[in-house]
């Protein structure tokens, strides 16, 4: 019995449907690339964020604060991280997480602002999935 073969073409192939993979797909699509995402389930059910959230990457754009957070996390990981990549992830999280506002009911921070870092697990991933497949994307 012959296996079905999918003949697909794209500029970018992303394997995995967790938070990092899905945000990568968003970034590539926004840059004008055609994107295919392949996952064992469907976008939003894979990766650590399916049960957690991105709170550990939501750091205000204050150079001293970000440097301290990166140093602390790098030390906690026994030096097995890349501080430059950590800075990029923190910056990208700060800039892009608010984009989910159309699909996620962010809470308030108690000071008249939005509590972006309060997104949680499966609700966050469902919102990210909705964002990826929305007409505005």
The Cα angle at residue 71 between residues 110 and 87, in degrees rounded to 5 = 70
- Total number of domains constituting the chain: 1
Give domain status of residue 7, yes or no.
no
Q: What average pLDDT does range 42-71 have in this prediction?
A: 80
d(CA 101, CA 70): 27
Bridging pattern class, strands 12-15 and 35-38: parallel
SS3 (DSSP) at 131:
helix
In a domain, residue 103? The reply is yes
Q: What pLDDT score was predicted for residue 22?
A: 84
Residue 127 has pLDDT above 90, yes or no: no
Cα separations (Å) of 36 from 42, 44, 126, 132? 12, 15, 18, 12
Pairwise CA distance, residues 25 & 81, whole Å: 23
Residues 12-41 have a mean pLDDT of 88
pTM for this model (two decimals) = 0.73
Q: Is there a domain that residue 86 lies in?
A: yes
* 5 falls within a domain: no
pLDDT band at 48 (very low <50, low <70, confident <90, very high): low
Residue 84 lies in a domain: yes
The long-range contacts involving 126-130, CB below 8 angstroms and separated by at least 24 positions, are 126/44, 127/100, 127/103, 128/19, 128/22, 128/23, 128/43, 128/44, 128/100, 128/103, 129/22, 129/42, 129/43, 129/44, 130/103
Q: What is the pLDDT of residue 14?
A: 92
Per the structure, the complete domain to which residue 29 belongs is given by 12-132
* CATH for 49: 3.50.50.60
Residue 4 lies in a domain: no
Is 105 among the domain residues? Answer: yes
Q: Does residue 46 contact residue 16 with C-beta atoms inside 8 Å?
A: yes
pLDDT at 37 over 70: yes
For the cut 90, the answer to whether the pLDDT of residue 33 exceeds it is: yes
| 109 in a structural domain | yes
């Amino acid at each position: 019995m012959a296996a079905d073969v999918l003949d697909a073409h794209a500029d970018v192939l992303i394997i995995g449907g967790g938070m990092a993979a899905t945000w990568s797909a968003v970034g590539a699509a926004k840059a004008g690339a055609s994107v295919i995402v392949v996952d064992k389930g469907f976008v939003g059910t894979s990766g650590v964020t399916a049960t957690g959230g991105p709170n550990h990457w939501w750091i205000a754009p204050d150079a001293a604060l970000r440097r301290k957070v990166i140093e602390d996390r790098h030390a906690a990981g026994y030096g097995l991280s890349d501080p430059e990549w950590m800075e990029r992830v923190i910056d990208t999280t700060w800039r892009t997480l608010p984009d989910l506002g159309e699909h996620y009911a962010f809470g308030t921070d108690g000071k008249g602002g939005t509590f972006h870092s309060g997104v949680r697990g499966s609700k966050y991933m469902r919102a990210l999935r909705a964002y990826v497949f929305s007409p505005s994307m």
